[in-house]
Amino acid sequence: MAKIFETALYPYRRHPDQDAPAPVRHPVIVVGAGPVGLTAAIDLGLHGVPVVVLDDNDRVSTGSRAICFAKRPLEIFDRLGCGQQMVEKGVVWNVGRAFAGEKQVYEFNLLPEGGHRRPAFINLQQYHVEQMLLDRLRELQAEGAPIELRGKSRVSAIGTHPDHVTIEIDTPEGSYDLEAEWLIACDGAGSPTRRMLGLDFVGRVFEDNFLIADVTMQADFPTERWFWFDPPFNPDQSALLHKQPDGVWRIDLQLGWDIDKEVEKRPENVIPRIRAMLGEEVDFALEWVSVYTFQCRRMERFRHGRVIFAGDSAHQVSPFGARGANSGIQDADNLIWKLKLVLDGAAPDALLDSYDAERVYGAEENILNSTRSTDFITPKSEISRIFRDAALHLSERHAFARPFVNSGRLSVPCTYDGSALNTPDALPDGPARTRPGSPCPDAEIAGGFLLDRLGGRFTLLAIGVDATPVEAGDIPLDLITLASEGALLDRYGRGLYLIRPDQHIAARWPGFDETAIREALSRATGNTP
Q: Are residues 355 and 441 in the same domain?
A: no
pLDDT of residue 1: 35
Q: Are residues 64 and 180 in the same domain?
A: yes
Q: Are residues 445 and 360 in the same domain?
A: no
Residue 374 within any structural domain of the chain: no
Q: How many CB atoms lie within 10 A of CB 235?
A: 8
pTM of the model: 0.94
Q: Are residues 140 and 64 in the same domain?
A: yes
pLDDT truncated to tens, each residue of the chain (529 aa)? 357 788 889 999 999 999 999 999 999 999 999 999 999 999 999 999 999 999 999 999 887 788 889 999 999 999 999 999 999 999 998 888 989 998 998 888 876 678 889 988 899 999 999 999 999 999 999 999 999 999 999 999 999 999 999 999 999 999 999 999 999 999 998 999 999 999 988 877 776 888 999 999 987 888 888 999 999 999 988 999 999 999 999 999 999 878 898 999 999 999 999 999 998 888 999 998 998 877 788 999 999 999 999 999 999 887 666 677 899 999 999 999 999 999 999 999 999 999 999 999 998 888 887 777 777 877 778 888 888 888 888 888 888 887 777 776 666 788 999 999 999 999 999 999 999 999 999 999 988 999 999 999 999 999 999 999 999 888 999 999 999 888 999 999 999 999 999 999 999 999 999 999 999 999 999 998 7
Q: Is there a contact between 223 and 275 (Cβ–Cβ < 8 Å)?
A: no
Q: Are residues 348 and 438 in the same domain?
A: no
Range of the domain at 490: 432-524
pLDDT of residue 95: 85
Helices (H), strands (E): how many in the chain?
A: 12, 25
R_g of the chain computed on alpha carbons: 24
Q: Is there a contact between 78 and 84 (Cβ–Cβ < 8 Å)?
A: yes
Q: Are residues 452 and 356 in the same domain?
A: no
Q: Are residues 54 and 153 in the same domain?
A: yes
Q: How many domains does the chain have?
A: 2
Those residues with Cβ within 8 angstroms of residue 180's Cβ, 6 or more apart along the chain or in another chain: 25, 26, 27, 28, 29, 52, 164, 165, 167, 306
* Collapsed DSSP state (helix, strand, coil) of residue 73: helix
Q: Final residue of a domain: which of 321, 336, 365?
A: 365
Residue 174 within any structural domain of the chain: yes
Q: Is there a contact between 254 and 238 (Cβ–Cβ < 8 Å)?
A: yes
pLDDT of residue 409: 63
Residue 110 within any structural domain of the chain: no
Amino acid at 150: R
Q: Measuring CA to CA, how many Å separate 238 from each of 74, 94, 102, 228, 281?
A: 29, 21, 12, 5, 22
In the sheet that holds 103-109, the strands lie side by side as 103-109, 95-100, 225-229, 238-243, 248-256, 201-217, 284-299, 315-316
**Domain CATH code at residue 127:** 3.50.50.60
